[in-house]
């Protein structure tokens, strides 16, 4: 099992620097930085973190081909590859509908757009001139004027068609889920090739104290619940009333600042389904289950735990060496 960590650049760069180094020292092999226009820029952040780390693979988790042309993504991630001495990886996906709406970007035909973007980025990374006529992207003799090396491309996917595409053209897939049942279903859409990396891009919260770990996960779980399709609740047998409670509590919290009610609305069952939360033994058990259904990398995503630094160290001491 490979281990990755996700960081959101919504904090000052020196905080990320500290956590990135800590993660590397604790045995994480992959670091994924999220990409949303409202946070610090992903490539600027990656460049800094490339200079502050030595061995981890580092990359965007995930870029999208709506806010940046694939040629720009190809050049940006190749710069990170150069600075990091060949450690760059690229996550790419359809992007976040809600943030797109805020800046007037239309979310059309994500499937075909991702396919074309991956083809263009791969081709540009060969260093040869590229002429490409797609539905969205047209390039005429385009070429990057520096040596890029080949960079693994992972596709962020949840829907059945995107999963299928990821397995066909990606070096790996990033699946936003934490429960083995969701991976069993996802696997049915993919024909897994040799060396293809199946990544559980999960919400994780670990602490020696089970209650503390699970409580720390609740706000993140509330957001996941609010954004999940009904199909997922049916799969896990979650009743629609409790989902409505979470959605209402969240809406209310934005208006009133009452986050305590959000906490209370999130059930134990939801914490189990939408996160990997608990003591080191709990976390180990869940990762064993994920391994059995074909997951090859676990990414520890937000919140990590009630105390981020402690949680990273716990992962390094009690979890990563076990796999």
Q: Which residues bind ligand F42 (CB under 6 A)?
A: 34-36, 61-62, 64, 93-96, 108-112, 156-162, 174-176, 201
CB atoms within 10 A of CB 122: 18
Q: Which is nearer to ligand F42, 93 or 216 (CB)?
A: 93
Q: Which is nearer to ligand F42, 217 or 265 (CB)?
A: 217
Q: Which residue's CB comes closest to ligand F42?
A: 159
SS3 245: helix
Q: Which is nearer to ligand F42, 70 or 110 (CB)?
A: 110
Name the minimum Å distance from CB 141 to ligand F42.
Answer: 27
> For residues 316 and 19, what is the distance between their CA atoms, to the nearest angstrom?
13
> For residues 228 and 10, what is the distance between their CA atoms, to the nearest angstrom?
23
Name the minimum Å distance from CB 127 to ligand F42.
Answer: 28
> For residues 123 and 265, what is the distance between their CA atoms, to the nearest angstrom?
48
Q: Which is nearer to ligand F42, 35 or 171 (CB)?
A: 35
Q: Which is nearer to ligand F42, 301 or 305 (CB)?
A: 301
Name the minimum Å distance from CB 138 to ligand F42.
Answer: 18
Residues comprising the chain, all counted: 323
Task: Report how far apart, in Å, the C-alpha atoms of 58 and of each of 28, 250, 256, 278 are.
Answer: 11, 33, 38, 27
> Phi-psi category of 94—alpha, beta or left, where left has phi over 0 and alpha has psi -120 to 50?
alpha
> For residues 242 and 264, what is the distance between their CA atoms, to the nearest angstrom?
11
Q: Which is nearer to ligand F42, 108 or 145 (CB)?
A: 108
Determine the Cα angle at 242 with ends 185 and 221, to 5°.
60
Name the minimum Å distance from CB 245 to ligand F42.
Answer: 25
Name the minimum Å distance from CB 189 to ligand F42.
Answer: 8
CB atoms within 10 A of CB 38: 8
Is residue 240 within 8 A of residue 195, CB to CB? The reply is no
Name the minimum Å distance from CB 272 to ligand F42.
Answer: 20
């Amino acid at each position: 099992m490979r281990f990755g960590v996700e960081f959101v650049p919504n904090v000052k760069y020196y905080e990320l620097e500290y956590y990135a180094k800590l993660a590397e020292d604790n045995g994480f092999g992959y670091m994924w930085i999220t990409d949303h226009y409202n946070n610090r820029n992903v490539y600027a952040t990656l460049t800094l973190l490339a200079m502050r780390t030595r061995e981890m693979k580092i990359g965007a988790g995930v870029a999208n081909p709506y806010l940046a042309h694939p040629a720009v993504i190809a050049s940006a991630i190749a710069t990170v590859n150069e600075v990091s001495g060949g450690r760059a990886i690229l996550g790419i996906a359809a992007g976040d509908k809600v943030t797109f709406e805020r800046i007037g970007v239309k979310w059309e035909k994500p499937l075909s757009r991702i396919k074309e973007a991956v083809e263009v980025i791969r081709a540009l990374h060969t260093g040869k001139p590229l002429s490409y006529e797609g539905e969205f992207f047209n390039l005429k003799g385009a070429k990057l004027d520096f040596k890029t090396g080949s960079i693994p491309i992972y596709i962020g996917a949840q829907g059945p068609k995107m999963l299928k595409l990821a397995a066909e053209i990606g070096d790996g897939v990033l699946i936003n889920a934490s429960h083995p049942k969701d991976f069993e279903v996802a696997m049915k859409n993919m024909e897994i090739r040799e060396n293809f990396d199946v990544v559980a891009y999960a919400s994780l919260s670990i602490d020696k104290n089970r209650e503390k770990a699970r409580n720390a996960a609740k706000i993140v779980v509330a957001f996941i619940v609010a954004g999940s399709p009904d199909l997922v609740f049916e799969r896990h047998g979650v009743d629609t009333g409790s989902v409505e409670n979470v959605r209402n509590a969240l809406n209310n919290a934005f208006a009133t600042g009452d986050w305590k009610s959000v906490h209370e609305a999130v059930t134990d069952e939801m914490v189990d389904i939408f996160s990997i939360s608990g003591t080191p033994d709990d976390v180990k058990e869940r990762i064993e289950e994920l391994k059995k259904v074909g997951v090859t990398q676990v990414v520890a995503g937000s919140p990590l735990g009630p105390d981020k630094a402690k949680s990273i160290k716990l992962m390094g001491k009690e979890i990563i060496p076990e796999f």
